[in-house]
Chain A
Amino acid sequence: MQMLRYALYTGCTARESTPELLKSTLAVAEKLGIELVLLDEASCCGASHLQDYDDFLSLVLNARNICYAEKLGLTMVTICNTCQLNTAMTKHRLDTNPELKAKVNVKLAEVGLEYKGTSEVTHFLYAIIQDYGLENLAKKVNVPLSQFNIAPFYGCHNIRPSELQNLSNGGENPYNPTSLDDLIIACGGNNVDYDAKNKCCGFHAELQSPHTAAVLTGNALSGAIDANADWMVTPCPLCHLKLDVQHHGASKAIGREVSLPVLHMPQMVGLALGCTPAELGLQHHVTKVNFV
């Protein structure tokens, strides 16, 4: 197989509150022989909140991030669902609206950049599935996760709105997503089905609407627990922060103790590929990963 190369947009979270995500992403890429070029120039995607404040500014900044992937001639991969949404949304709006693109490029020209629209933007989960291939991944699994019931938590911003996301996620249906389930199976694990797997974790309203956010987190954790999951896995560091760190608030909101270890998608793959807990940064979790 030809060596896969991508420009990696880490987002902020992987460089701050979820260092284990960046660590495990790089470890898995190395094991699979995927080259990731870090986009150190990139700035925050705005997380859909800057967009509420200043839509045009967020377009300019996100376009600038994509420019750096274009300069390398590489597809940009993201490791955060919300980064994926905001970057792909920017790309889609500029690619389908020449007038808007021209307006953004006037600004980018001030710093010597031009947005062309030549780089694709895709989440690492879908890059693994579509470009690397699940059969190829399965062949590399040397520690199959067969003793675990694993609950996939998809996270909204990889699957909705499907009209946008289907440009890069292989046509995943948000009402019955399968990618993460398929990945669990390829890693030798048992995928667990539960209602909340494609629902919202509440992260984005955590400060403004703490009760709503906490109930949603609680529903996700309790759904996975009731479906007999040993742990959860998610492709989004923001979902991870909510599920891993905030289970106390969630438990209080739904009136039931809920807590479950939650792994980042690359941490799960890394375990199956034989990476050590330290290589995957498992010591950083607040809800302790007690099974390895």
Chain B
Amino acid sequence: MDGLKSQQVTFKLFRFNKDTDYLPYYNTYVLDVTHEEVILDVLNRIKWDHDGSLSYRRSCRHGICGICSIKVNGKAILACKARIFDLINVFGADMTIDPLSTKRAIKDLIIDKEDFWDKHAQVKPFLVTDVEENPSLENLVSPHDAEKLLEADYCIQCGACHYSCPALEINDRFIGPAAFAAAFRFAADVRDDSSLERLHIVNEETEGVWDCVKCMECAEACPKDVNPIEKITKLHNMIFDTGIAKDNVATRHAVGFAHSINKHGLLDEGELVRYSEGNIGVMKHLPEAFEMWKNGKIVMPWNMPKSKNLDEVKKLIESSSTVKF
């Protein structure tokens, strides 16, 4: 091991066999690791030298197949890509290794990814287009048009974002960041004829993009820099651009910002809630509003602060708006 830096690390490893175990448990291994090793090397060493029954998935060992994703101290990683010394920098020398989703564990680090694939299938992740079956020429896409995909096609379907998404954890009908990125990837493809259909799918309440909490976990988790939340924002934009945005609390909430800024420069918080919810829907917020009012947290309409040089803001809204609702 000449020239290699090495360090002792404690690995707590999630163990569970769906067929025989009632509850999961952890095995602890203290190992010397070198600065060259990735998590997959350690899993291999544990399997080969200590416990042949340890189960995990790996295939390409090059960050391409997306099968080896797991969590280390809550951070989703590709086992074949994540260097242990980088993880030591973040967490120190104690590492807990879990499957991407403990509630979906089948055996140790292997999970049932069925929900992930179902969500993918839901957005029709394939080109819908009329092509000649025996074309005489290639169907070329210009570099300029290819750039419109914003590298969404780099997704390796590892599930790191999907199983890091808190909205999905709570609302299992939510389509989730990976499938949204796929929906965008095809909706933005100039050859595709089904963009509008896909936008309708991600525009649904409860399932679609409106239920994203904007936590940015997906952008952080992705090992391929796909940046799903950026694609989700693009899908929002496309929903407005194509005119398919429905008149509901979510869309009015987005549009309400423009109205309010046009009037005050600042956001009129109370008016935003009223505008978004409507005059009846707003009632359910009254108990909280009353509590806030009692404590001096509600600005009355006649006291609403305004930005200085408000005329500039109005002028810019007039000249720079690109969308109508």
Binding site for B on A (CB under 8 A): 12-13, 15-19, 40-44, 46-57, 60-61, 64, 107-108, 110-111, 113, 156-157, 160-162, 173-176, 195, 199-200, 202-205, 207-209, 211-213, 215-216, 245-246, 248-249, 283-286
Contacts and interface: CB of A to CB of B under 8 A. Distances in A.
B73 A57 contact: no
Interface in B157-175: 166-167, 170-171, 174
Given A52-B237, A61-B313, A207-B249, A41 B216 contact: no
A19 B267 contact: no
A212 B213 contact: yes
A216 B170 contact: yes
Q: Which of A52, A204, A207, A246 has the most CB of B within 10 A?
A: A52
A200 B322 contact: no
B167 A47 contact: no
Given A50-B261, A156-B214, A174-B220, A64 B316 contact: yes
B240 A53 contact: yes
Given A40-B308, A200-B217, A245 B315 contact: no
Q: Which of B236, B257, B273 has the most CB of A within 10 A?
A: B257
Contacts of A203: 213
A49 B254 contact: yes
Contact of A209 (B167, B215, B269): B167
A97 to B, nearest CB: 13
B279 interface: no
A57 B322 contact: yes
Size class of B's contact patch?
A: 35 or more
A286 B297 contact: yes
29 contacts: A12-B266, A15-B266, A16-B298, A17-B297, A40-B308, A41-B309, A43-B261, A43-B265, A50-B258, A53-B255, A54-B258, A55-B233, A57-B317, A57-B323, A110-B315, A110-B316, A161-B229, A162-B220, A176-B90, A195-B74, A199-B215, A205-B211, A205-B213, A207-B273, A207-B277, A209-B167, A212-B213, A216-B213, A245-B291
A173 B307 contact: no
A96 to B, nearest CB: 14
A248 to B, nearest CB: 8
Contacts, number: 207
A284 B299 CA distance: 13
Contacts of A284: 295-297
A60 B211 contact: no
Contacts of A16: 266-269, 297-299, 305
B75 interface: yes
Contacts of A202: 166, 213
Interface string B89-105: 01100000000000000
Q: Which of B212, B253, B297 has the most CB of A within 10 A?
A: B297
B316 A61 contact: yes
A85 B320 CA distance: 21
Interface in B265-296: 265-269, 273, 276-277, 287-288, 291-292, 295-296
A211 B240 CA distance: 25
A208 B250 contact: yes
Contacts of A174: 220
B321 interface: yes
A19 B297 contact: yes
B166 A216 contact: yes
A205 B219 CA distance: 18
B260 interface: yes
Contact of A44 (B170, B214, B257, B277): B257
Contacts of A213: 213
Contact of A43 (B170, B249, B307): B307
Contact of B316 (A42, A46, A60, A246): A60
Contacts of A199: 166, 215
B139 interface: no
A12 B297 CA distance: 12
Contacts of A107: 316, 319-320
Interface in B219-265: 219-220, 227, 229, 233, 236-237, 240, 249-250, 253-255, 257-258, 260-261, 265
